[in-house]
Amino acid sequence: MFKTRVISDNGLRRWEGGVAIDIRLPWYRALPLSTVEIAEVKIDGALIAANETRFLINGESLALDALPGRDKDWWYVLDSGFVLVPKRVLEIGSQHEVSVTVGIRPPYIPGFYRMTECTKRLKVEPETQGVTR
Protein backbone atom coordinates (compact mmCIF):
# COMPACT_ATOMS: atom_id res chain seq x y z
CA MET A 1 0.00 0.00 0.00
CA PHE A 2 1.13 3.50 -0.79
CA LYS A 3 1.25 4.55 2.86
CA THR A 4 4.32 2.40 3.37
CA ARG A 5 5.88 3.18 -0.01
CA VAL A 6 6.21 6.95 -0.23
CA ILE A 7 9.60 6.84 1.51
CA SER A 8 11.84 4.09 0.15
CA ASP A 9 13.55 1.69 2.54
CA ASN A 10 17.16 2.85 3.02
CA GLY A 11 15.92 6.08 1.45
CA LEU A 12 17.81 8.64 3.55
CA ARG A 13 21.29 9.57 2.38
CA ARG A 14 23.85 12.34 2.51
CA TRP A 15 23.71 14.69 -0.43
CA GLU A 16 25.95 17.70 -1.04
CA GLY A 17 26.31 18.56 2.61
CA GLY A 18 22.65 17.97 3.39
CA VAL A 19 20.38 14.96 2.88
CA ALA A 20 18.24 13.47 0.13
CA ILE A 21 15.10 11.44 0.83
CA ASP A 22 14.21 8.84 -1.81
CA ILE A 23 10.45 8.97 -2.39
CA ARG A 24 7.97 7.22 -4.67
CA LEU A 25 4.74 8.33 -6.29
CA PRO A 26 1.78 7.15 -4.16
CA TRP A 27 -0.37 6.13 -7.14
CA TYR A 28 -0.59 3.21 -9.56
CA ARG A 29 0.12 5.20 -12.73
CA ALA A 30 2.39 8.02 -13.90
CA LEU A 31 1.18 11.53 -13.13
CA PRO A 32 2.12 14.94 -14.54
CA LEU A 33 4.15 16.96 -12.02
CA SER A 34 1.44 19.65 -12.12
CA THR A 35 -0.82 17.24 -10.21
CA VAL A 36 1.75 16.38 -7.52
CA GLU A 37 2.50 18.27 -4.32
CA ILE A 38 5.25 17.66 -1.78
CA ALA A 39 2.93 18.74 1.01
CA GLU A 40 5.04 18.27 4.12
CA VAL A 41 8.53 17.13 5.09
CA LYS A 42 9.62 16.48 8.66
CA ILE A 43 12.86 15.19 10.14
CA ASP A 44 12.77 14.11 13.78
CA GLY A 45 9.39 15.76 14.16
CA ALA A 46 10.54 19.18 13.00
CA LEU A 47 8.89 20.67 9.92
CA ILE A 48 11.29 21.56 7.09
CA ALA A 49 10.20 24.80 5.40
CA ALA A 50 9.22 24.48 1.75
CA ASN A 51 11.87 27.03 0.72
CA GLU A 52 14.58 24.92 2.35
CA THR A 53 13.58 21.92 0.28
CA ARG A 54 13.86 21.03 -3.40
CA PHE A 55 12.52 18.15 -5.42
CA LEU A 56 14.83 16.24 -7.77
CA ILE A 57 12.93 14.38 -10.48
CA ASN A 58 13.95 13.22 -13.96
CA GLY A 59 17.45 14.53 -13.18
CA GLU A 60 16.24 18.09 -12.57
CA SER A 61 16.12 19.95 -9.25
CA LEU A 62 12.94 21.99 -8.79
CA ALA A 63 11.61 24.39 -6.16
CA LEU A 64 8.50 22.86 -4.61
CA ASP A 65 6.35 25.72 -5.86
CA ALA A 66 7.53 25.06 -9.43
CA LEU A 67 5.60 21.77 -9.63
CA PRO A 68 2.17 23.24 -10.53
CA GLY A 69 3.72 24.80 -13.66
CA ARG A 70 5.23 21.51 -14.86
CA ASP A 71 2.31 20.13 -16.83
CA LYS A 72 4.54 18.62 -19.56
CA ASP A 73 6.79 16.70 -17.17
CA TRP A 74 5.82 13.36 -15.70
CA TRP A 75 6.66 11.28 -12.67
CA TYR A 76 6.80 7.73 -13.97
CA VAL A 77 5.51 5.18 -11.55
CA LEU A 78 8.76 3.19 -11.30
CA ASP A 79 11.02 6.19 -10.73
CA SER A 80 12.25 7.65 -7.48
CA GLY A 81 12.07 11.36 -6.83
CA PHE A 82 14.31 12.91 -4.19
CA VAL A 83 13.38 15.45 -1.58
CA LEU A 84 16.57 17.46 -1.13
CA VAL A 85 17.25 19.21 2.15
CA PRO A 86 20.57 20.93 1.48
CA LYS A 87 21.07 22.56 4.86
CA ARG A 88 20.29 19.59 7.05
CA VAL A 89 23.56 18.04 8.21
CA LEU A 90 23.05 14.52 9.54
CA GLU A 91 25.82 12.14 10.51
CA ILE A 92 26.25 9.03 8.38
CA GLY A 93 24.91 6.01 10.26
CA SER A 94 22.74 8.03 12.66
CA GLN A 95 19.02 7.16 12.93
CA HIS A 96 16.24 9.65 12.22
CA GLU A 97 12.49 9.71 11.95
CA VAL A 98 11.61 10.98 8.49
CA SER A 99 8.11 11.92 7.44
CA VAL A 100 6.97 12.93 3.95
CA THR A 101 3.43 13.73 2.81
CA VAL A 102 2.70 13.71 -0.90
CA GLY A 103 -0.56 15.11 -2.28
CA ILE A 104 -1.87 14.09 -5.70
CA ARG A 105 -4.71 15.26 -7.94
CA PRO A 106 -5.24 12.42 -10.45
CA PRO A 107 -6.06 14.34 -13.65
CA TYR A 108 -9.02 12.17 -14.66
CA ILE A 109 -11.00 12.73 -11.42
CA PRO A 110 -12.02 16.39 -11.14
CA GLY A 111 -11.74 17.79 -7.63
CA PHE A 112 -10.14 14.70 -6.11
CA TYR A 113 -7.15 15.33 -3.85
CA ARG A 114 -5.45 12.52 -2.01
CA MET A 115 -2.74 12.92 0.62
CA THR A 116 -0.47 10.07 1.61
CA GLU A 117 1.68 10.45 4.68
CA CYS A 118 4.59 8.11 5.27
CA THR A 119 6.87 8.02 8.31
CA LYS A 120 9.92 5.79 8.63
CA ARG A 121 12.89 5.53 10.95
CA LEU A 122 15.95 5.49 8.73
CA LYS A 123 19.72 5.37 8.99
CA VAL A 124 21.68 8.00 7.08
CA GLU A 125 23.42 6.30 4.16
CA PRO A 126 26.58 7.68 2.55
CA GLU A 127 26.29 9.87 -0.52
CA THR A 128 26.17 7.87 -3.75
CA GLN A 129 26.03 8.57 -7.43
CA GLY A 130 22.59 7.04 -7.50
CA VAL A 131 20.54 10.17 -6.82
CA THR A 132 19.19 10.38 -10.32
CA ARG A 133 16.74 7.57 -10.85
> Which one, 93 or 109, has the nearer CB to another protein?
109
Give, as one character, the DSSP assignment of residue 27: S
> Which one, 59 or 93, has the nearer CB to another protein?
59
Output the smallest distance, CB 19 to another protein, in A. 22
Other CB atoms within a 10 A radius of the CB of residue 65 amount to 11
Euclidean distance between CA atoms 21 and 5, whole angstroms:
12
Euclidean distance between CA atoms 120 and 97, whole angstroms:
6
Output the smallest distance, CB 76 to another protein, in A. 5
Q: Which residue type sits at 82?
A: F
Output the smallest distance, CB 110 to another protein, in A. 5
Euclidean distance between CA atoms 122 and 104, whole angstroms:
24
> Which one, 16 or 71, has the nearer CB to another protein?
71
Residues lying near another protein in the complex (CB under 8 A) are found at: 1-5, 24, 28-30, 32, 34-35, 68, 71, 76-78, 105, 107-112, 114-115, 117
